[in-house]
């Protein structure tokens, strides 16, 4: 990827995150009850084993079960090392505690991320953890989990090398429920 294309891609992601943040303040208020279905958007900052990530998520709450997906990029590798480091997550949660303002859920998350050093490295992780949301329309979200991470890459002799290790993530952010 050329330097100009990479710089344009970084700027496009930054504009996307700023635009999505501004959308939060242009919506009308809803009253989230314990049985209401809702869709929410959130932005979060995630600390993980290999990098810190900026993530944008969409979540669908169906009573006690929630599905979410997020996309983001590693801050250190993308901005300081000039290696684009995208991440895609999908997850499933089950609300253990759900009230008007507080939701605490068990959480299962799978993540995929990749970057290119000399060769392309692929990472896949599976994690168990929790998710806590506090607020109504505009809410604080905290997610944490631990699990296993698998890394694949081609070694110098052309064979695929795979290694598994312990993985963790802790994220905090703001969300908006529609």
Q: Give the per-residue pLDDT at 156.
A: 77
Q: Give the per-residue pLDDT at 14.
A: 56
Q: Give the per-residue pLDDT at 22.
A: 47
The average pLDDT across 169-176 equals: 94
Place 112 in a pLDDT band, splitting at 50, 70 and 90. Answer: very high
- Is the pLDDT at 118 greater than 90, yes or no? no
Please state, in angstroms and rounded to a whole number, the distance separating the CA atoms of residues 176 and 161.
Answer: 41
Q: Give the per-residue pLDDT at 35.
A: 53
Averaged confidence pLDDT in the chain: 84
The average pLDDT across 146-171 equals: 90
- Which range of 13-22, 32-41, 88-97 scores highest in mean pLDDT? It is 88-97
94-111 residue pLDDT tens: 999 999 899 999 999 999
Q: Which domains does the chain have, with CATH numbers?
A: 3-177 (2.40.160.20)
Place 141 in a pLDDT band, splitting at 50, 70 and 90. Answer: very high
31-85 residue pLDDT tens: 444 456 788 999 999 999 888 999 999 999 998 999 999 999 999 888 888 888 8
When mean pLDDT is compared across 28-42, 60-74, 125-139, 163-177, the lowest value belongs to 28-42
Greater model confidence, 120 or 145: 145
């Amino acid at each position: 990827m050329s330097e100009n294309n990479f710089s344009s891609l970084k700027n496009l992601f930054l504009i996307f995150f700023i635009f999505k943040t501004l959308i939060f303040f242009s919506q009308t208020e809803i009253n989230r009850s314990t049985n209401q279905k809702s869709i929410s958007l959130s932005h979060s900052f995630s600390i993980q084993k290999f990098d810190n990530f900026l993530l944008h998520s969409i979540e669908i709450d169906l009573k006690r079960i929630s599905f979410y997906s997020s996309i983001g990029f590693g801050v250190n590798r993308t901005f300081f090392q000039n290696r684009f480091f995208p991440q895609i997550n999908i997850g499933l949660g089950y609300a253990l505690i759900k009230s008007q303002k507080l939701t605490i859920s068990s959480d299962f998350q799978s993540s995929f991320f990749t970057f290119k050093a000399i060769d392309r490295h692929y990472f896949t992780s599976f994690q168990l953890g929790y998710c806590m949301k506090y607020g109504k329309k505009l809410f604080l979200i905290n997610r944490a989990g631990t699990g296993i991470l698998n890394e694949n890459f081609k070694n110098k002799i052309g064979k695929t090398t795979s290694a598994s290790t312990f993985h963790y993530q802790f994220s905090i952010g703001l969300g908006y429920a529609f």
